[in-house]
Chain A
């Protein structure tokens, strides 16, 4: 009797696990029609996981949307362990040059700590800051500024 109960419990557990892993996969992969990148490729990481997290003005704390992205990044990076990782921190132009270099480093480091906390070995992740020297978007409007307050997880 007890054995049966136990087996049922195990079965239920496995079913749940399967379900959750299914939903995970589903959420990570877009409909197959638009999938043109090989799973596990850098393109896959950029397109299907998201390689960047964004920050509020003059801030380096990870926002809720960034937290989701970094969780997905950690999952993917644990599955594909062959990529060395460099996190690039950047800032919008409305700060002074030197301060922004340091702020970019703080942003990159905040993202790195999140990945480490989710099980990516610290030794695998380098950081670099570009401050406001290498903007992702050109322009002096809120749209461009927002895209430039970023930490990009770059794979080699």
Chain B
């Protein structure tokens, strides 16, 4: 009996301080761990934001590169030289509406000077200066409506609006592109994007009609484009 009490006493004396120590140590430990976890969480949040941003950048870049490759392949197929510039010099055209544009860009007679304008606008597009790109492409199309790049410019004009969520103007630009430059290398993209824009504007019927036209007009479209059309038709419940 006595020994038991003593044993208990000893145990208590041993246990009490350790429990107090453990408790105190634990609280500090938990505090430390919480802080570390919080810190890692913030670092991870930052990394996630960076990755999402880079992903978005890459996606945009890829879309542009793909468009560029398609253009080059297309020129190759037509027997042109595959450089970034089209081989065939377009017939000089009187600048339509050149008078009111004289202020914003030097008057051009098509050819290399016009091309410089196209490439400058494309550079602006890549830099995300959509308003600047819009001005550039619009000027280019107005001044060089017969240029081999005019269809491309018309398509990218639509893209400058689309990127800014100005779907109304995007629709008009893509529709114009389809009407005027149906056979341009960007024709299929143009029609596809017209349908997508119509869908965004909640004009499902018109969108479906456009997607339906696609295979009819462009039987030789790329697989990627065809797949995209299928996806879009499905997404918008086209019959």
Q: Do A and B touch, yes or no (CB under 8 Å, in the complex)?
A: yes
Complexed CA–CA distance, A35 and B17 (Å): 31
Structural contact, B27 and A61, CB atoms closer than 8 A:
no
Structural contact, B31 and A9, CB atoms closer than 8 A:
no
Other than the given A114-B31, A116-B27, 18 more pairs (CB < 8 A) read A2-B3, A2-B6, A2-B7, A3-B3, A3-B6, A6-B6, A6-B9, A10-B9, A10-B13, A61-B36, A62-B32, A62-B35, A67-B28, A113-B31, A117-B27, A117-B31, A119-B24, A119-B27
> Which 10 A-B residue pairs are closest in the complex by CB-CB distance?
A117-B27, A117-B31, A117-B28, A6-B6, A2-B3, A6-B10, A61-B35, A113-B31, A118-B24, A9-B10
Number of residues from A at the complex interface, CB < 8 A: 17
State how many angstroms separate the Cβ of A63 from the closest Cβ of chain B.
11
Interface residues in chain A, defined as those with a beta carbon under 8 Å from any beta carbon in chain B: 2-3, 6, 9-10, 13, 17, 61-62, 67, 110, 113-114, 116-119
State how many angstroms separate the Cβ of B74 from the closest Cβ of chain A.
52
Q: Interface digits, B13-28 against A, CB 8 Å rule (1 contact, 0 not)?
A: 1100100000010011
Whose C-beta in chain A lies nearest to the C-beta of B24?
Answer: A118
Residues of chain A within 8 A (CB-CB) of B35 are 61-62, 110
Total inter-chain residue pairs, C-beta < 8 Å: 39
Residues of chain A within 8 A (CB-CB) of B39 are 61
Residues of chain A within 8 A (CB-CB) of B41 are none
Whose C-beta in chain A lies nearest to the C-beta of B26?
Answer: A117
Whose C-beta in chain A lies nearest to the C-beta of B35?
Answer: A61
Whose C-beta in chain B lies nearest to the C-beta of A110?
Answer: B35
Residues of chain B within 8 A (CB-CB) of A110 are 35
Complexed CA–CA distance, A117 and B33 (Å): 12
State whether the Cβ of B89 lies closer than 8 Å to any Cβ in chain A. Answer: no
Complexed CA–CA distance, A13 and B12 (Å): 12
Complexed CA–CA distance, A118 and B14 (Å): 20
State whether the Cβ of B30 lies closer than 8 Å to any Cβ in chain A. Answer: yes
* Size category of the binding interface on chain B: 10 to 19
Structural contact, A13 and B27, CB atoms closer than 8 A:
no
Structural contact, B3 and A114, CB atoms closer than 8 A:
no
26 contacts between A and B (CB under 8 A): A2-B3, A2-B6, A2-B7, A3-B2, A3-B3, A3-B6, A6-B6, A6-B7, A6-B10, A9-B10, A10-B13, A13-B14, A17-B17, A61-B35, A61-B39, A62-B35, A67-B28, A114-B31, A116-B27, A117-B24, A117-B27, A117-B28, A117-B31, A118-B27, A118-B28, A119-B24
Complexed CA–CA distance, A108 and B2 (Å): 53
State how many angstroms separate the Cβ of B151 from the closest Cβ of chain A.
50
Complexed CA–CA distance, A119 and B31 (Å): 13
Complexed CA–CA distance, A116 and B23 (Å): 12
Residues of chain B within 8 A (CB-CB) of A3 are 2-3, 6
Residues of chain B within 8 A (CB-CB) of A117 are 24, 27-28, 30-31
Residues of chain A within 8 A (CB-CB) of B14 are 13
Residues of chain B within 8 A (CB-CB) of A61 are 35-36, 39
Residues of chain B within 8 A (CB-CB) of A67 are 28
Contact of A13 among B6, B7, B13, B30 (CB under 8 A): B13
State how many angstroms separate the Cβ of B3 from the closest Cβ of chain A.
5
Residues of chain A within 8 A (CB-CB) of B3 are 2-3, 6
Residues of chain A within 8 A (CB-CB) of B32 are 62
B 139-180 contacts with A by CB, 8 A:
none
Complexed CA–CA distance, A116 and B39 (Å): 20
Whose C-beta in chain B lies nearest to the C-beta of A70?
Answer: B28
Whose C-beta in chain B lies nearest to the C-beta of A119?
Answer: B24
Whose C-beta in chain B lies nearest to the C-beta of A9?
Answer: B10
Whose C-beta in chain B lies nearest to the C-beta of A14?
Answer: B13
